[in-house]
Amino acid sequence: MENLILAIDNGYALNENYADFEIMQQGFLQHNLSLERVSTMQEALLSLEKQSYLLVIIVEDSVNFMPQLHILRNVQPIPIIIISSLYEAETAIDALEKGADAYIQKPKTVPEIFAICNALIRRYKELNNKEPIRTTIVAHKCYTIFPEQRKLFVNEQEVILTRKEFDLIYLFLVNRGRVLTYEQIFTNVWGDDYLSSSNNALTVLISRLRQKLGTETLDCLRNVHDMGYCFDI
């Protein structure tokens, strides 16, 4: 395993105390740890799916992390530390209940933050043998879908969907740019009941999705005459 730490910080908030990211990176490199930065939770989840890390640092000041924290918790069994410039007990409790291992006020020096991170990494190496829960991530533009958890996020905000609504938007996203016939849509969304369903049922379902996701979100959904639909996003 490479000694990588993933930092989620879209506003370069770490720089406020550490002059610039390179100084903090150099401080960690002295201890054979490499710091990698991403800007969003979506980017972080995709990175965690592809690469092994020892620790995740979330800078609360610049990232809306809470809606997807419980999913990030399951991608890899590694410590998650949240750093905030202003400590709030209610937020700390919520974050810890959703899977964070530590929620702290932003340290003033690189050695201080390294010591905290190193303590969590040491505990992880010594005690954590948990197998990660399988998490597939489908991400495109503002959409992030987690099929196993049956969750959809748009602009990192969770959208609550019914079973058929989720199955339909998932089908469109994984087949974006392709024409899906009515039969394919009904088979995937309605299953064995598709023969008793009508095009009107599909129209109603799409209408409900537009209401939940916003009309502009599904403006790219194109009806192909006498065939089906194409999601041109």
**90 and 174 part of one domain:** no
Domain extent at residue 167: 161-231
pLDDT of residue 7 exceeding 60: yes
**Residues 10, 116 share a domain:** yes
Do the domain assignments include residue 77?
yes
Looking at the structure, tell me whether residues 8 and 121 fall in a common domain. yes
- Mean pLDDT along residues 92-96: 93
Domain count, the chain: 2
CA distances from 149 to 43, 46, 51, 68, 138 (A): 18, 16, 21, 11, 12
Residues 42 and 85 in one domain: yes
| DSSP summary character for residue 178 | S
- DSSP characters over 83-143: EESS--HHHHHHHHHTT-SEEEEPPSSHHHHHHHHHHHHHHHHHH--PPPPP---EEETTE
- Would residue 109 count as lying in a domain? yes
Check: CB of residue 96 under 8 Å from CB of residue 103: yes
**pLDDT at residue 1, as a whole number:** 46
**Domain-ending residue, one of 127, 152, 182:** 127
CA 52-174-172 angle, 5° bins? 145
Residue 204: name the closest of 233, 179, 231, 168 by CA.
168
pLDDT for residue 129: 60
Is 218 inside any structural domain? yes
Give the domain CATH number at 209: 1.10.10.10
What is the domain-level CATH number for residue 122? 3.40.50.2300
Q: What mean pLDDT is predicted for residues 1-19? A: 68
Q: Do 8 and 123 sit in the same domain of this protein? A: yes
Same domain, 17 and 85: yes
Going by C-alpha positions, the residue among 119, 123, 151 that lies closest to residue 135 is: 151
First vs last C-alpha separation in the chain: 37
| Shared domain check, 175 and 119 | no
Q: Write down the mean pLDDT value for the chain.
A: 84
Q: What does the pLDDT look like over 32-89, one tens digit per residue?
A: 888 888 989 999 999 998 899 999 999 887 788 999 998 998 888 899 999 888 888 9
What pLDDT shows up at residue 30?
83
Percentage of the chain exceeding pLDDT 70: 85
The pTM of this model reads 0.69
